[in-house]
Structure 1
Amino acid sequence: MASLKPQQTAQKKNKAICCESNIPKRFASLQTQPANTLSTIPEGSGSHKGMVWIKNGDFMMGADNKQAAEDEYPKHKVIVTGFWIDATEVTNAEFARFVKATGYVTTAEKKPDWNELKKQLPPGTPKPDDKLLVPASLVFSSPKQAVDLNDYGQWWSWQAGADWRHPHGPGSNIEGKDNYPVVQVSWYDAQAYCKWAGKRLPTEAEWEWAARGGVTNNIYPWGNEPVDSGKPKANTWQGSFPYKNLLTDKFYFAAPVKSFKANNFGLFDMAGNVWEWCNDLYNNKYYSSINKPAGISNPKGPATSFDPQEPYAKKRVIRGGSYLCNDSYCSGYRVARRMKSTEDSGMEHVGFRCVADK
């Protein structure tokens, strides 16, 4: 890892370990999606119902405070063309309509293909036990006491039968949770839904511009007040992660959409609740490559993915943090916070929202 800026030193030890990107490969990326799946989805005409128009603008994208990670630098000027964006994360009810209309089967509901999986892993990686190569996904499991925050296997488990209908594992369900964000969806699943809805996933720049709500250099969508000061402002983890949640915000897992105040653009849950897929590939040095005094218009992300922690894995950006985020390790609810995950990954705290062009 390259040396960090002085203000980043405190972040070096605990690096966003709430997400799949840092989970040992014996648990993660045991899924794959046939390359032609998206082509079988009918393309929708698009509707702006439930969406908010985000005006043209320019802003300084990237690191706002001393919690910033290395990949949030340098802060750079970005110009964004106006677009529509969902006011909320896509819900279980909305995703269920898509599945009913198309018969779509999500990544987590399919048996993994080892020949595809091994392309993401270092050469010579042994094949996992066949009992792992079944439809499954990653589920949060809280330990009973404090654990080493660098050992993410202490709170993630690979469970057969976990999918969008059973987000916490085979014994769970989404009955009565129509207005909760859909989770356990891969980047492929999000892409398929967007196509059917006549929309697309946001670019990382669009997402951050929308999250900032037109306000300059704020740390969070609501402003600069620390996440645990005053009234709850987002669905996050209060207390000692991962074993004690004080439930100050009243939610242990995901919350119904619109449970917290919208930002200045009228968008809900741009911080906390569930991480959200973006369209961009992830590259830890991307910001350096596009940093120009005059700014860059509508950046689409790097041409190639690279994560030094897992150099063989192809990853996409996820944004916004989740109900598992806490200042002790990831502060994912900061508007500049970047995270990443492999395209085939599903987790119980990752969802998405869509955008549409004018």
Structure 2
Amino acid sequence: MRRLTAVSLLVGTGVMLTTAACNKGGGGLFGKKKEQSSATGWSYNDPKMGGFSVAKNKDQQTGPGLAFVQGGTFVMGATEQDVMGDWNNIPRRITVSSFYIDETEVANVHYREYLYWLGRVYNESFPDVYRNALPDTLVWRSELAYNEPLVEYYFRHPAYNDYPVVGVTWKQASDYCKWRSNRVNEKLLMDKGLLSKADISNQADDNSFDTKSYMAGLYEGTPGKMSKGTKNQFKNPDGSPRTAQFEDGIMLPNYRLPTEAEWEYAALGLIGQNPGASKKEGKRGEEMIMNRQVYSWGTNTSGLRDIRRGNWQGQFLANFKRSSGDNMGIAGGLNDRASIPGPVKAFFPNTFGVYNMSGNVAEWVLDVYRPLSPIDGDDFNYFRGNKFQTAYKNAENELEKDSLGQLKMRDVTDEESANRLNYQKGDVINYLDGDSLSQVEYGYGITTLINDKSRVIKGGSWNDRAYWLSPGNRRYMQEDMATNTVGFRCAMDRVGSPEGNKFKTGNLFRKQRQKR
């Protein structure tokens, strides 16, 4: 196979560089007239002028399965009485950047697709990769209940294809997000003609596609038709094919677990309460959210559908447990039509078009749990759990990939961070967490059940009371544990305009005329 060479290297979380200035002559980026830099006057995408490659301005496309969530400010935290006495969700106003989130929870069929790919690529040389990704189906067992059919059938039987996957740890959910990122970007490169589809059957072990390894020039893939063409931007100045970078605007940012703030913001769907969100209103809606919302579907706090629109009384908007022994209602009038998790699109979506943010299964989010994180965290893109990493380089100062084809990464050291203004440590999970130096150690299982492996869980489940359905409530579990009530969904960063595609950032005004 022919090895792709990179003209430039971008490692880490990619950001699309889409700024390109237009010359007076126009003609387009790849037309007869070369586009020129407004800073130097040199032409872009011209081998005779150095070959600096710049993509056309373009919007970020929406990845498979995602819904766009326009960011904004909101009051994060409790909307109900703190009946549990945790005092871990103190209301606080924060701002969340625009982002994408899965319309639904990850379903059994999605996770089985992931397992199939792991088995096909790694099972011969690294069978533990497949085995370690398997969900724990024994989470359905109980000492005093007959749940063996769910142990045997819930994950595998096609009747449950569209039901949310459970028995997945936080680590397994995070690995799924990484795999999904690579599969989506690989297909985008194939669709663009930069990679050959013949690579699909040739991938194994360390020659499996990884986005970061590909951009570093370490993936030994077969160039596609576009790479072999004579007129395109994916050429080095010497005419050899080059790998696409995030600057080319083809690949998408990584899928990942949503942060707690993102999840809660998406669950509330407050855009539906904003009078300025309607085109008919013709006005902006700052500071006009009408009330504090209890559940994810809007101002209908009772949780019952409107029977005047053709639905019978008692058909709930979420899958949850009403009281002891009541998981679905009475025969002939099942109120949520689900005794266990229901299909991922079974209930009413909120105004962002996102399903089951209240009920069905609770969900892992990215954050490390601390009771008072809402007070400690930033008021912009609040998050606790940063442990910064960078690309690993060997003794020859070269990048490497591991035996699974992924780019090797390493933790950022405190020495590398000491002279920075914005952070001074590589691992800041415990930042502002107990003492001036943040050197906190938790006696897990002795004095507390909280440590650095405790991850936040949001949203109620099919086996939870209505109290836990409120998006502001929060719980936690160890990242290497799993239950039959917890699943997950993925999120993705948004680059470009926070209002969505076809919108510009900032308020733009005409240039004022002045005498020269």
Band of TM-score, shorter chain: 0.5 to 0.7
Q: Secondary structure at the match of 2:67?
A: strand
Alignment-derived partner of residue 76 in structure 2 = 61
Q: CA RMSD in A?
A: 3.2
Residue pairs, 1:1-358, within 5 angstroms:
48-67=63-82, 69=84, 70-103=86-119, 104-105=129-130, 107=132, 109=134, 137-139=138-140, 141=142, 168-170=150-152, 173-176=155-158, 177-198=160-181, 199-214=255-270, 215=273, 216=289, 217-224=292-299, 225-227=301-303, 231-238=315-322, 240-242=323-325, 245-246=328-329, 247-290=334-377, 296-301=379-384, 303-304=429-430, 309-311=448-450, 314-327=453-466, 331-358=467-494
1:181-220 superposed Cα distances (whole Å, 9 cap, x missing partner): 1111000110011001110000000000000102442000
1:314 offset after TM fit, Å? 2.5
Separation (CA, whole Å) in 2 of partners of 1:137 and 1:333: 25
User: Residues 275 and 59 from structure 1, CA distance in 2 versus in 1: closer, same or farther, beyond 3 angstroms?
Assistant: same
State TM-score, norm by structure 2.
0.46
User: 2:458 corresponds to which letter in structure 1?
Assistant: R
User: Residues 356 and 241 from structure 1, CA distance in 2 versus in 1: closer, same or farther, beyond 3 angstroms?
Assistant: same
Identical pairs, percent: 31
Q: Secondary structure at the match of 1:197?
A: helix
1:301 offset after TM fit, Å? 1.7
Q: How many residues align?
A: 264
1:62-112 superposed Cα distances (whole Å, 9 cap, x missing partner): 0112256534442111111111111000111111111111234365859xx
User: 1:232 corresponds to which letter in structure 2?
Assistant: F
Q: Conserved in 1, the CA contact under 8 Å of 2:67 and 2:101?
A: yes
Separation (CA, whole Å) in 1 of partners of 2:162 and 2:327: 26
Q: Secondary structure at the match of 1:297?
A: coil
User: Residues 109 and 52 from structure 1, CA distance in 2 versus in 1: closer, same or farther, beyond 3 angstroms?
Assistant: closer
User: 2:151 corresponds to which letter in structure 1?
Assistant: G
Q: Conserved in 2, the CA contact under 8 Å of 1:108 and 1:346?
A: no
User: Residues 248 and 270 from structure 1, CA distance in 2 versus in 1: closer, same or farther, beyond 3 angstroms?
Assistant: same
Indicate the structure (1 or 2) with the bigger Cα radius of gyration: 2
User: 1:51 corresponds to which letter in structure 2?
Assistant: L
1:140 offset after TM fit, Å? 5.8
Separation (CA, whole Å) in 2 of partners of 1:315 and 1:137: 22
Q: Conserved in 2, the CA contact under 8 Å of 1:107 and 1:188?
A: no
Separation (CA, whole Å) in 2 of partners of 1:262 and 1:300: 26
Q: Conserved in 1, the CA contact under 8 Å of 2:327 and 2:463?
A: no
User: Residues 59 and 171 from structure 1, CA distance in 2 versus in 1: closer, same or farther, beyond 3 angstroms?
Assistant: closer
Q: Secondary structure at the match of 1:253?
A: coil
Unaligned residue ranges in structure 2 (runs of 5+): 1-60, 120-128, 182-254, 274-288, 306-313, 386-428, 434-441, 495-516
Q: Conserved in 2, the CA contact under 8 Å of 1:317 and 1:340?
A: yes
Q: More displaced, 252-261 or 240-249?
A: 240-249
Separation (CA, whole Å) in 2 of partners of 1:226 and 1:261: 14
1:50 offset after TM fit, Å? 1.7
Separation (CA, whole Å) in 1 of partners of 2:373 and 2:144: 32
Q: Secondary structure at the match of 1:95?
A: helix
Separation (CA, whole Å) in 1 of partners of 2:488 and 2:355: 12
Q: Conserved in 2, the CA contact under 8 Å of 1:68 and 1:337?
A: no
Q: Conserved in 1, the CA contact under 8 Å of 2:318 and 2:347?
A: yes
1:128-152 superposed Cα distances (whole Å, 9 cap, x missing partner): xxxxxxx7743264xxxxxxxxxxx
User: 2:302 corresponds to which letter in structure 1?
Assistant: P
User: Residues 182 and 311 from structure 1, CA distance in 2 versus in 1: closer, same or farther, beyond 3 angstroms?
Assistant: closer
User: 2:92 corresponds to which letter in structure 1?
Assistant: H
Q: Which has the higher contact order (CA 8 A, sep 6+)?
A: 1
Unaligned residue ranges in structure 1 (runs of 5+): 1-45, 111-134, 142-152
User: 1:299 corresponds to which letter in structure 2?
Assistant: Y
Separation (CA, whole Å) in 2 of partners of 1:190 and 1:255: 20
Separation (CA, whole Å) in 2 of partners of 1:313 and 1:80: 24
Q: Secondary structure at the match of 2:266?
A: helix
Q: More displaced, 301-310 or 250-259?
A: 301-310
Separation (CA, whole Å) in 2 of partners of 1:68 and 1:298: 28
1:144-197 superposed Cα distances (whole Å, 9 cap, x missing partner): xxxxxxxxx877x9x9xx9xxx8x324655312211111110001100110011
State TM-score, norm by structure 1.
0.65
